[in-house]
Copies of this chain bind each other. A is one copy, B any other.
């Protein structure tokens, strides 16, 4: 057998790698992060074992402690990644396209979809740092939405708008959670197109476009 050609960063689409991976700490770290995000989002923090995660990622258990200090460190890294990703997508969305954006992300069945991200964010770990990350993400996105509909900080009358924006976000979360954790027809198999109409009605009713 000759040595394998040094293919750089093969991105490993699909199942576990058939050929032996190269030794690459950064890639291994990322494999662990991806596997952990899927597991934590689906089963919750406490029900997920580090051995599960390592097996999914195809790496040794001890590397979790090496790269993330502990299971809790890995969870916080997942949370941070989900928070960044979520903040990036909500930041890029123009205010009048919010229902479409929510519908698109809810409908996305992939691991990067809003449903998985939000499920992950809602899982409690008993860790104070995790709570703070969660809060930050939700505060940021609800204030972005509220600001687009007339809310200004410290303006007395407009706190109603912030409350309503938070309820709109909560509605999106509720739909995402229901779709991801309970099979409920017709909601579970509704397409992006099916969702966008009701979502528009919902958001417009809570936050009139003025």
Q: Which residues of A contact B (CB under 8 A)?
A: 43-47, 122-124, 126, 131, 134-135, 138-139, 142, 159, 162-164, 166-167, 169-175, 177-178, 181-184, 186-187, 190, 194-195, 198-199, 201-202, 204-206
Copies in the complex: 2
Instruction: List chain B residues, Cβ under 8 A from A194.
Output: 163
CB pair B139–A171 under 8 Å, yes or no, is no
CB < 8 Å: which of B124, B135, B181, B183 contacts A124?
A: B181
CB < 8 Å: which of B135, B142, B169, B175 contacts A167?
A: B175
CB distance from A95 to the nearest CB of B (A): 18
- By secondary structure, the A interface counts as helix
CB pair A126–B163 under 8 Å, yes or no, is no
Instruction: List chain B residues, Cβ under 8 A from A205.
Output: 201-202, 204-206
Instruction: List chain B residues, Cβ under 8 A from A124.
Output: 43-44, 47, 181
Most chain B beta-carbon neighbours within 10 Å: one of A44, A45, A142: A44
Instruction: List chain B residues, Cβ under 8 A from A183.
Output: 135
CA distance A204 to B126 in the complex (A): 37
CB pair B138–A166 under 8 Å, yes or no, is no
CB pair A186–B159 under 8 Å, yes or no, is yes
